Structure 1
């Protein structure tokens, strides 16, 4: 028995007995078998984060049990996404005849040595200036960006990333070849493209590339005098920490994003929501609810229809959706399911990525609450969207659904779902 398992076993038994709850009753509350919980209490098996959250909520332990289970934080190799200096890099985008593609920023001298760019397209200052003087140029690239965001809500990242990267590169080139104030306009637009590329690469399963693109977006925005994206990047990086089950890092980055009162209210509101998710992951019910309330107060004052807005555009009322998300992590899956079921009905039908993401969390909540047949029915619906959008973050919750329903192998609904779920979980990573 390792020290962590022993300590958790001792504290679980102490808290359970102090609450006057039998092992059988606890098993009913958390939807695990009595035999399995007995192995946890004797230290034979280590407790996972999911079980710790459920026991914590069932026994009103105030986060004490959750704190005893280590969360997997980012490794040193993944900490900032930039282990090489790519200053003065050449962007290499390889397009295969099969439709697949890959991207890599490399040192200019390495690209030249490899014989890259056999077909060169020169963007001269004269060409850039001529394009910049046309009123339709910026507006056209902004319209293209908005259309790609719509496409990205319903398709795989592989279908939008090559075009997004190419457009980002073009805008970066226009910015280099023009003078103020057009330079700043092109840089700002390029930064929005790059930020969205970062989100799509995370959805494709490449966190390191997501961090690199987000940082590149910040650098371009800063050069344009737009400091808002720097704050938003902290919210984006906090999301990566959240999916790594790193509660402390999620809260830390989210609080940094809220530190400057000059930061736009919408970004501070989104940061507060992310902070609440971090508190929920840590099992801190009180702080989570307080932070959700603060986020609500901030976001209810925002009314932006700007197509260049940072953050989610598919979910019109993100606060209640995040509250449902948090309740699952707080070990209250039945409450989470009730809220998520209502909020999902307000999602646009075309937002397949959002339907898959929050639908998976809804199905997971039903599974955790012991409603296995309902969870399986919902998971089939989630897979209808997930198979289209090819989302790494959705697969994160689908794996948890798979582990949860595996405890009911004799259920016909489980046997019917498992082959399709297994196929979806083995989709190739970007």
Structure 2
């Protein structure tokens, strides 16, 4: 019977016990893990605390079934975000809000200015294609006086739903390369405007407008999480459910559980992540894509818990559901989840393999999948590309990891993503073991800039 006072103090002795049972010397285990023998020796003797990433790799190498990872101290949330304990936020503390009295946030514009800005945004972009996004945004910032001119050149036969639908796609494009905090005011105004239009519309148009408003609110939740504001992210997610129900869209309510699970996932809560999405993944009444996204998130939760078998099983289910969704034509409407990955299940497999302590396998998968990310999908390229660099660093390929990261870190400073910052911090820790490597030294300024962006 163990007499240790805490899980952290049990890790070293348990690691040594399992290493010896596997017939491995300390030197050989260090080689397999791409760690120094001296560092591992100090961990076994309880003189150093094991980082979570090392605990996962020890767990995988020794076949501990998640036991070693559970004994390691938990990893706190990174970036500008808040932890899982902030999920039940007081609504009054949420910075950006939409309610029956209009759009309000401290120190912001008044109602008339906000609605004018919203009209300018919608009418300025109109139904322009992706190539015109930059020009449309430039028109937008000219102010409310441009509304009349924009209306005169817009097509009279285009419904408000079509205009807002086109604008939503533009917002998603902007979300790939823009500080998310800059998009939130626009998304707030547009969500509010859609709801106001819905209240004045006939039944058919009202359902469409509310359904689209729900998609805006869901996207605003994602941008809030990217900006590091988890309470606002969850507030927006709740508003998306309410709007979706008003638009007779019951499926989106289930998808918001997938969104909520992303918050718990980045907070490091594997059990909550799996618990939120497991019912969604198994609900045969839901569209295959929503179930596939839920199964994918479930796989990430299992990987975080060190459960290799359950993670790969969930990934297989996700792949099957995505294939079924593609065969069905996707169900119409704006795509839920990312639209920039050719094979989402394959990409997330690479992500999970890293969390399961198998960095070399993860790097192989991520090398292949990252090559297919479109050039315009900057946020997606940075997210998965940095995970790829992290996998190579963990596999002992420091120079290759630095070469990958050198292309991506300049993008990170502009994206200001709290979730991507998690892997930037992990990459910095991994590379700290190779400080003597010239490539690592050369990368330090870019790493520092990404870790501590100027406000």
Same fold flag (TM > 0.5): yes
Determine the structure 1 residue equivalent to 2:8. 5
| 1:383-410, Cα deviation, whole Å (9 max, x unpaired) | 1432342222111101100111112222
CA distance in 2 between counterparts of 1:404 and 1:235 reads 30
CA distance in 2 between counterparts of 1:14 and 1:194 reads 51
Paired residues for 1:31-46 under 5 Å: 31-46=34-49
CA distance in 2 between counterparts of 1:399 and 1:233 reads 28
CA distance in 2 between counterparts of 1:164 and 1:44 reads 50
The equivalent position to 1:155 in structure 2, one of 175, 178, 194, is 178
Determine the structure 2 residue equivalent to 1:225. 248
Q: Is the deviation greater in 153-162 or in 52-61?
A: 153-162
Displacement of 1:89 after TM fit?
5.2
Paired residues for 1:22-421 under 5 Å: 22-71=25-74, 77-84=85-92, 88=100, 90-93=102-105, 117=111, 135-303=158-326, 304=329, 306=332, 308-421=334-447
Displacement of 1:140 after TM fit?
0.9
| 1:249-283, Cα deviation, whole Å (9 max, x unpaired) | 11111213224321111010111011111111111
User: Contact 2:370–2:384 at 8 Å: present in 1 too?
Assistant: yes
CA distance in 2 between counterparts of 1:44 and 1:355 reads 38
User: Contact 2:8–2:73 at 8 Å: present in 1 too?
Assistant: no
CA distance in 1 between counterparts of 2:372 and 2:410 reads 18
Q: Is the deviation greater in 253-262 or in 272-281?
A: 253-262
CA distance in 2 between counterparts of 1:166 and 1:121 reads 7
| Residue aligned with 2:67, SS | coil
User: Contact 1:82–1:212 at 8 Å: present in 2 too?
Assistant: no
CA distance in 1 between counterparts of 2:162 and 2:106 reads 28
| Residue aligned with 2:103, SS | strand
The equivalent position to 1:15 in structure 2, one of 11, 15, 18, is 18
Q: Which structure shows the higher helix fraction?
A: 2
CA distance in 2 between counterparts of 1:287 and 1:245 reads 18
Determine the structure 1 residue equivalent to 2:140. none
Change (3 A) 1:59 1:225: same
User: Contact 1:324–1:340 at 8 Å: present in 2 too?
Assistant: yes
Give the length in aligned residue pairs: 403
User: Contact 1:205–1:391 at 8 Å: present in 2 too?
Assistant: yes
Q: Is the deviation greater in 368-377 or in 27-36?
A: 27-36
CA distance in 2 between counterparts of 1:83 and 1:194 reads 16
TM-score, structure 1 normalization: 0.87
Determine the structure 1 residue equivalent to 2:449. 423
- Unaligned runs of 5+ residues in structure 1 are 96-101, 104-115, 124-132
- Unaligned runs of 5+ residues in structure 2 are 119-155
Displacement of 1:427 after TM fit?
2.1
Change (3 A) 1:297 1:350: same
RMSD between aligned residues: 2.5
| Residue aligned with 1:315, SS | coil
